[in-house]
Amino acid sequence: MISFNMPPYVGTEFTYIQEAIDELKICGDGTFTHQCSTWLEERFGTRRALLTTSGTSALEMAAALCDIKPGDEVILPSFTFSSTATAFVGQGARLKFIDVRPDTMNMDERLVEAAITPRTKVIVPVHYAGVACEMDPIMDLAQAHGIRVVEDAAQGVMSTYRGRALGTIGDFGCYSFHETKNYSMGEGGALLIRDEEHIEQAEIFREKGTNRSPCSPPICGHSSGRRIASTKTASPHGTAIATPSSPWRSRNASSFSTFPLTAYTTLICSISSAATSRTAPPS
């Protein structure tokens, strides 16, 4: 039997777990988290990268940042994972599904314009299997109609469109580091933020309505009441699988033939994602 996926393990994971324990801070936003966020920002050229507990959490943050009101419409492909839809339904959006292209299984960009109405608030291209959607026509339509774009790039880490990293083209990009993804940390994700104006609010959402993030001002804002920041020790094996000498990387080289993997360093380890499940709102 051929396994659907094989969780990577290369032997240095326990070293990183021990480092996290020795620092006496395992709740997230420690040394590993900051290193990884910085690496993602510099490698992909995004304004801010915030680690989350899952790709779903990243999508939910993006939906909240789009300021969707009940009845607003969101355009998305009919072929995608449930989280692409539920993240926006949770904000009160009405979904408008369009068909996908048979050659890529991605949103058919030729069908987007006909789906736009005065209530359209967001377009959500999904880069299925890391294959890029045709982003230029989608972005042109979004700009012409004043619509935000949230890229579901859960499977698109290290993939590009016309030289630009997937997840950095729209207003927001969402990555997943789930066990089944090319870069797996067990569970985890990241929200990529293109514009400075959204960073402050995103930091507050991520910290459950508080200003605990060192990047947030001394104010409180709306909170989803959920824990979506990543923890530090959840998947330290991420460090190991990203190193150039990783045997896991060698075994899976064919899967990454289109990716510039030589740029990867051990900083991606820090993705230390997965972590804490969502918790109840703090009392």
Q: Is 12 exposed, middle or buried (0-12, 13-18, 19+ CB in 10 A)?
A: middle
Catalytic residue among 121, 181, 208, 232: 181
CA-to-CA dists, residue 126 to 40, 76, 175, angstroms:
20, 8, 11
Q: Please, which residues have CB within 8 angstroms of residue 122's CB and are 6 or more apart in sequence?
A: 63, 66, 68, 72, 74, 75, 88, 93, 147, 148, 149, 150
CA distances from 10 to 82, 204, 238 (A): 32, 36, 9
Using alpha carbons, list the distances in angstroms from residue 81 to 61, 77, 126, 176, 213. Answer: 17, 10, 9, 12, 30
Q: ∠ at Cα 120 (100, 160), nearest 5°? A: 45
Q: Which two tokens stand for residue 5?
A: 């996926």
Please name which of 222, 182, 146, 170 lies closest in space to residue 59, comparing C-alpha atoms. Answer: 170
Q: Tell which residue, 67, 55, 27, has the closest CA to residue 279.
A: 27
Taking the C-alpha atoms of 164, 166, 167 and 171 in order, what is their torsion angle to the nearest 10 degrees? 50
**Catalytic-residue membership of 181:** yes
N-terminal to C-terminal alpha carbon distance within the chain: 49
Q: Which residues are catalytic?
A: 181
